[in-house]
Each structure stands twice: as C-alpha cells, then as structure tokens.
Amino acid sequence: MPLDRTRRVSVTPKATSGKLDIGPQDYFVLSRIDGASRVGDVLDASGLPRAQAEAILDRLLAAGAIEIEGTGQHPAARPSGHAGRDAAARRKRRTLAQGLGNRTSSPPDRPANKPKPEPEADTEASAGEEHRPPPFELPPVDPDDERLDPDLAIPLDEQQRLLALVDRREELTPFELLGLHPTDDRAEIRNAFRTISRRLHPDAYHGRNLGSFKEHLAHLFAAAREAVKKLGDEEFRRPMVEAYESERTRVREEKERREARMAAAKAAAQEIRDKQQKVEVDARRKARATSRARAQRGRVLANLAGRVGQHITDAEKAERAGNHAAAANHYRLALRVDPNNADVKAKWDKVRGKARKERAKEAFSRALSYLELGQSEDALPLFVEAADADPTSEHLANAAELLRTTNIERAREMAMGALNALQRELNDQKTKPKGPGRVAELRMMLARTFRDAGQNKTARAQAKAAVDLVPDLPEARALLNSIKKK
C-alpha cells in the first residue's frame, strides 16, 4: 500500500537483536533511517524504485523493525535538544556500569563496605567522562596499496579505510569494529550499527562497479551484524565493562599522582628561590659594607685603560691584516669604553670608511652574479646594500635600475644621487676614468629611471648624453622617441 511520505519512521530495538528474518536490501533500507526520519526522505535515500522501496518498508514494519507514525505505537518521547540527549546517554552508561559492577565486585576506588553515594546531576556525569577515550578507528592502508582501484564506484579514501578493516577483521573486538565503548547502551549500539551499515551494506553502491570490494563489503557487513548480536549479550559485555572501568580508575589515579608530583616540585622550586633570594640579599649587604669608593674607582679606571689599550692593539693588528671590518669593530669597542678619545674616533672613522667600501664591493659583486643568472629579486637588496655602504655612481645607478619597478620614489632618489656622483667622478682627476661605453650605459639606467618617475626632461638629457658618447646606441634613440610621443 502507498505510504504517506510526510509521516515519520523510526527504528525499534528489535532491529538490532539479530533475530530479524530480512534480506540484504531490507537491511540497506533500514540503514537509511536516522533518528525519526520522514518516509519520503528514506525512500529518496535508498536509491531504489519507489514501489520496491515501499514494499521493503512494509516488510520492515511487519517484522517489527520500524515504526511509522499513525500506523501503530509511536516511539517513546525523548528529551529534546542536544543537552537532553547527551544527559540521557550519560545516565544510561552510568546505570549500566553500576549494574554490571554490582553483580561482580565494587570498583577499585570504592570499598565494598561503604554505601554508594547518590549520583548527582549531569555535572557529575560530565566529570566522569573526562577520561573517556575517543572511539576506536583504524589508520587507513597506504595510498600505494596495490588493491586500491580508482575505477571503482567507492572513493579511494573509503577504499583505504575499508581495506584496513578487512586486514584486521579477525582481531578486532565488536566494540572496535563498531567504534563503541563497553558502557554504551543498546540505543548507541543501534545507532552505531546504522552508521556503519551506510558504509558496509552491499546495496550502498547498488548497480555500480565494486570489483573485489563487493565481497569485502558483504563480509564486513556480516561481521558488523554478528558484533551487534554479541553486544546484546550481557555476559559477553561484562568483562569488557570491568576492564574499561579499571582503566578509567588507573588513568584517574595516574592523574592524581602526576598532580601531586607537580605540586611537590613547585613547592621545592619555591623553596630554592626563597633560599637563593636570601643569599643574594646577604651578598649585596656584604658588598656594600666592604666596598671602598676610592679603591673601587681606581680599579675601574685601570681596568678601562687596559681594555681601551687592548682594543686599540687588536684594531691595529686587524688593520695590518687587511680586515677593516674587524678593525672598525675593535675601535668601536674602544670608543664605548672611552667615548671622549678623539684619536680613537678619527681612526675609527677612517677604517670604517674602508670597511664600508669593502662590504659594498662584495655586495655589488654578488648582485652582479645574481643578475647574470636572471635572479633580479636576489640582486636588488645587494645593490641597495652596496649603494648605502658606498654611494658611487655604479652602485646607485644599478640599485635605481632595479628599484624603479617596485619603489619608484626610492629609485628616483638614488638616480639623483647617482647623477651627482657621476659628475663628481668625471671631474675628479684622482678617480679612475670610466670608458665612454660604461658611462653611456650608466646614463641610460638613469634615463629609464627618470622616465618612469615622470621626469621626462631629465630622462631626455641623460639619453642625449648617452648618444653623444655612443652615437649608434639604438636603445637611447628608442627612449628619446618614446618620450617625444608623450
């Protein structure tokens, strides 16, 4: 008979008893029911023709596996909201654990001759859950496993998880197979079975290519059904519950011991700090009582003089060895001890200038190497370092050339500095003269920078100066033509 799609359907406790006389497709449709689902949602989720799916629901209803709103007894009312469901689940686990424990022996942390305290509200249950381990889950097989087949209807990650279950199927306990805890009640076992049925039921991929996984799914689904059947046996579950409670007690006692050790260590550390503080106070008092200002000042002055002399000696030694950076550092240390020493300051300024030129030369050489390899991003900071350390026309022009694409304002400033430096160098008789080709190349770098900065007049002047030096310079004429068009 057609079913009303708007009515709600739910699973009965009989569904997990293992005594239902139903087929694989019936179990598949049963696994589509989650909580109090609507009939229409279950029919759609089954993926079967409507008439076939309705017939299966009729059989499940007749077998007592499901209840449909308006056709018989409704499921018992449950607490509404997540908080109510969680609280009910905790009370069931606590009741089950206490009931099984009463038939055997008292828990390790509660003597048998003492009355049990009355369970408090849900806050106590929540506190008891803090040592509850996470559900058991096997790690998936390696992604390179030869049994994985990307052409199957099952996703590869799900194939990995299924093969892990297949490889360990014989050694897994029913709780591990279903991802449960020994104190989980029947409702949680039923929910776990419905959840795993959605993955393992052979009809979950009805009509699609499963390859060897068709047999794997059938075996795993049968194992899950057998696990549910075993977990319905209280005698089977009792030793597992006892072992679970014993482990919880062990974890709690270990935590208490760890906290006690931490408290003892904290107290010992505080005692050490108190003693150390007392020693330091006594030492300061003794130092103040025995110090003599005049003698102390003499020792300080002698010490300073010795330190200055040593730094100067080290600086002169480094300078003779050609290590101007180390020499500058020693002169700086000497000035820190004796800031008013004009002779040391003059030597420091001189050797620091040499050290900066050496550093600039090294940075410029490394930048040219990066530029030859096409690594302009690595060359840029080295060109800037060279320009800052020794602002020659070469250093400033190269830095401006690379900076004009990222920081045009800074590039323009460096180009102006390079132009002034080039003029000084050309007028300075002591400076080694540059060839016409190199001067023309530097002027073209400046022309491009000034053009990008919007200083077309200055850019034109530099391009013309480059043409005067090298008349057949096509790049200069092209730049002049581009500026004319603007």
Q: DSSP secondary structure string, 15-75?
A: GGSS-----HHHHHHHHT--SSEEHHHHHHHH-S-HHHHHHHHHHHHHTTSEEETTSSPPP
Are residue 402 and residue 317 in the same domain, yes or no? no
Please indicate, yes or no, if residue 335 is contained in any of the structural domains.
Answer: yes
Amino acid identity, position 223:
A
Range of the domain at 332: 294-352
pLDDT of residue 278: 92
Please indicate, yes or no, if residue 15 is contained in any of the structural domains.
Answer: yes
Largest CA distance in the chain: 114
Specify the higher pLDDT residue, 429 or 74.
429
Six token digits for residue 277: 């503080």
Residue 406 has pLDDT above 50, yes or no: yes
pLDDT of residue 18: 57
Please indicate, yes or no, if residue 277 is contained in any of the structural domains.
Answer: no
CA gyration radius, the chain: 43
Residue 62 has pLDDT above 50, yes or no: yes
Residue 23 has pLDDT above 90, yes or no: no
Percent of the chain clearing pLDDT 70 (strictly above): 82
399: confidence class by pLDDT, cuts 50, 70, 90: very high
* Residue 68: strand pairing partners: 9
Residue 22 has pLDDT above 80, yes or no: no
For the beta carbon of residue 187, count every other beta carbon within 10 angstroms.
Answer: 16
What is the rounded CA–CA span in Å between residue 91 and residue 100? 14
Q: Of 394, 395, 418, 409, nearest to 452 (Cα)?
A: 409
185: confidence class by pLDDT, cuts 50, 70, 90: confident
Given 68, 90, 109, the domain boundary residue is: 68
pLDDT of residue 7: 82
Specify the higher pLDDT residue, 240 or 392.
392
What is the rounded CA–CA span in Å between residue 409 and residue 415? 10
Q: Summarize pLDDT for 264-301 with one digit per residue, the tens.
A: 999 999 999 999 999 999 988 888 888 777 777 777 66
Please indicate, yes or no, if residue 73 is contained in any of the structural domains.
Answer: no
Mean pLDDT of the chain: 78
Residue 34 has pLDDT above 60, yes or no: yes
Q: Summarize pLDDT for 91-140 with one digit per residue, the tens.
A: 555 544 444 444 433 333 444 444 444 444 443 334 444 445 556 677 88
Are residue 395 and residue 327 in the same domain, yes or no? no
329: confidence class by pLDDT, cuts 50, 70, 90: confident
Please indicate, yes or no, if residue 35 is contained in any of the structural domains.
Answer: yes
Residue 153 has pLDDT above 50, yes or no: yes
Quote the number of domains for the chain: 3
Interacting residues of 15 by C-beta distance below 8 A, sequence separation 6+: 30, 65, 66, 190
Please indicate, yes or no, if residue 76 is contained in any of the structural domains.
Answer: no
pLDDT of residue 100: 41
pLDDT of residue 275: 92
User: Which of 73-77, 218-222, 427-431 has maximum average pLDDT?
Assistant: 218-222
What is the mean pLDDT of the segment spanning 73-79?
Answer: 38
Amino acid identity, position 195:
T
pLDDT of residue 122: 41
What CATH number is associated with residue 418? Answer: 1.25.40.10
pLDDT of residue 120: 42
What is the mean pLDDT of the segment spanning 137-150?
Answer: 87
Please indicate, yes or no, if residue 170 is contained in any of the structural domains.
Answer: no
Given 30, 51, 68, the domain boundary residue is: 68
Are residue 346 and residue 399 in the same domain, yes or no? no
Are residue 480 and residue 422 in the same domain, yes or no? yes
Residue 31 has pLDDT above 60, yes or no: yes
pLDDT of residue 409: 93
Please indicate, yes or no, if residue 39 is contained in any of the structural domains.
Answer: yes
